[in-house]
């Protein structure tokens, strides 16, 4: 019973620390260990010299992270409880997707755990950056990064104010013939680029299949595909080599977005927005 009450009390402290702009650790944590790809990336951008002790092996994979080269300077681990404890952290950075068993065990053992919120909006990306900067005792650096991102995003404001009847249609098409039509971060970037998610316009929500025949009937202005560098072949990836998909590429209507740009909410969202906008501008220019 006592152990349960102690676990509950520690959990309250952890939840409170997750709030945007929460109080920083006294001074600042000297030994920080990140156990999630998204916290890896932000910690690499925001940590003080020598503060970040270890990151996951995922952030060193060029197929998954834009910051894999910066990650080379850090020791890595495979998110095992034994490895994490051996690093003697006084702050562990995790996400809601970190295995629950590991999170609970770390809390039970008395480690300070900060859980980064999922970045489903542009606003939440900025809040996460500031919140993590606070936890690392480096809020000034986080504020500067957010200011830079806001300045870059403001350059696209005139595009995002396009009248609704002038929005271009885009279909987010994934390996396996599925489309993504949620109201998340990627969809916000699409709208800010003067486009609209065709699947949402058609009344779909979430993840759903879209056959080649359906794609041809809809005939969106653009097709967005998620680009990976993996050389491994699969039935799902083979679909993206279909002649109908290649037609979009020949027409300069296929927009490839690297996985690294959208796997986590971070400054890479500006690169995604820039690519979408450039395709839109070229498309409109060619239609004149």
**CATH code, domain carrying 127:** 3.40.50.1980
Considering 122, 153, 184, which residue would you say is the last residue of a domain? 153
Query: How would residue 238 be classed by pLDDT, with cut points 50, 70 and 90?
Result: low
Same domain, 138 and 175: no
Computed over every residue of the chain, the mean pLDDT equals 87
Same domain, 179 and 147: no
Same domain, 8 and 140: yes
Average pLDDT over residues 133-140: 97
The pLDDT, as a whole number, for residue 236 is 47
Its pTM stands at 0.86
Residue percentage of the chain with pLDDT more than 70: 87
Distances (CA, A) of 65 to 34, 145, 184, 189, 246: 14, 18, 20, 19, 27
Same domain, 174 and 223: yes
Nearest to 145 by CA among 70, 43, 217: 43
Considering 97, 131, 153, which residue would you say is the last residue of a domain? 153
From the number of C-beta atoms within 10 Å of its C-beta (0-12, 13-18, 19+), residue 73 rates as: exposed
Q: Which of 4-13, 17-26, 111-120 is predicted most confidently?
A: 111-120
The pLDDT, as a whole number, for residue 79 is 95
Phi-psi region of 206 (alpha: psi -120 to 50; beta: other; left: phi over 0): left
The 3-state DSSP class for residue 52 equals strand
The pLDDT, as a whole number, for residue 233 is 54
The pLDDT, as a whole number, for residue 197 is 95
Which residue matches tokens 């296929």? 254
Handedness of CA 209, 215, 217, 220 (dihedral sign): positive
Average pLDDT over residues 23-49: 89
- Out of 24-28, 75-79, 81-85, 255-259, which region has the weakest mean confidence (pLDDT)? 24-28
What is the per-residue pLDDT across 67-115, written as a single tens digit (0 to 9) for each?
Answer: 999 999 999 999 999 999 999 999 999 999 999 999 999 999 999 999 9
Residues 6+ apart with CB under 8 A from 101: none
Is the pLDDT confidence value at 57 over 80?
yes
Query: How would residue 218 be classed by pLDDT, with cut points 50, 70 and 90?
Result: very high
Considering 119, 153, 187, which residue would you say is the last residue of a domain? 153
The pLDDT, as a whole number, for residue 20 is 33
Q: How many domains, in total, are found in the chain? A: 2
Same domain, 193 and 82: no
Describe the chain by its helix, strand, coil percentages, rounded to 5.
50, 15, 35
Average pLDDT over residues 256-270: 93
For helices 37-46 and 139-154, the axis angle rounded to 10 degrees is 100
Which residue matches tokens 């450039």? 278
Same domain, 137 and 42: yes
Say if residues 278 and 131 touch (Cβ distance below 8 Å): no
Say if residues 123 and 133 touch (Cβ distance below 8 Å): no
- Out of 54-58, 72-76, 175-179, 219-223, which region has the weakest mean confidence (pLDDT)? 175-179
Query: How would residue 266 be classed by pLDDT, with cut points 50, 70 and 90?
Result: very high
Phi-psi region of 228 (alpha: psi -120 to 50; beta: other; left: phi over 0): beta
Higher pLDDT among residues 280 and 8, named by residue: 280
Is the pLDDT confidence value at 234 over 80?
no
List the domain range (segments joined by +) for residue 179.
162-287
Is the pLDDT confidence value at 26 over 90?
no
- Out of 4-8, 67-71, 211-215, 263-267, which region has the weakest mean confidence (pLDDT)? 4-8
Same domain, 117 and 221: no
Rg of the chain taking only CA atoms, in angstroms:
21
Same domain, 173 and 121: no
């Amino acid at each position: 019973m006592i152990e349960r009450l102690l676990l509950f009390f520690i959990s309250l402290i952890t939840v409170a620390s997750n709030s945007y702009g929460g109080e920083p650790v006294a001074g600042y944590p000297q030994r920080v260990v990140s156990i999630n790809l998204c916290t890896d990336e932000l910690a690499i951008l925001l940590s003080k010299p020598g503060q970040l002790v270890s990151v996951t092996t995922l952030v060193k994979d060029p197929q998954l992270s834009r910051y894999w080269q910066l990650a080379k300077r850090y020791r890595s681990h495979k998110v095992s409880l034994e490895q994490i404890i051996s690093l003697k952290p006084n702050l562990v950075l995790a996400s809601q997707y970190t295995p629950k068993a590991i999170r609970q065990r770390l809390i039970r053992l008395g480690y300070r755990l900060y859980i980064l919120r999922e970045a489903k909006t542009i606003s939440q990306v900025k809040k996460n950056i500031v919140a993590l900067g606070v936890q690392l005792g480096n809020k000034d650096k986080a504020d500067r990064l957010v200011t830079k991102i806001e300045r870059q995003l403001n350059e696209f404001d005139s595009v995002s104010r396009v009248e609704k009847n002038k929005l271009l249609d885009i279909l987010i098409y994934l390996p396996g013939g599925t489309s993504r039509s949620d109201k998340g971060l990627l969809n916000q970037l699409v709208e800010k680029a003067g486009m609209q998610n065709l699947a949402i316009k058609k009344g779909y929500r979430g993840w759903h299949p879209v056959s080649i025949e359906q794609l041809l009937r809809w005939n969106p202005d653009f097709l967005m595909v998620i680009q990976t560098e993996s050389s491994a072949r699969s039935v799902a990836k083979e679909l993206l080599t279909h002649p109908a998909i290649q037609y979009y590429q020949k027409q300069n209507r296929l927009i490839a977005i690297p996985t690294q740009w959208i796997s986590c909410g971070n400054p890479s969202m500006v690169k995604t927005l820039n690519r979408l906008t450039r395709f839109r501008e070229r498309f409109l220019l060619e239609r004149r």
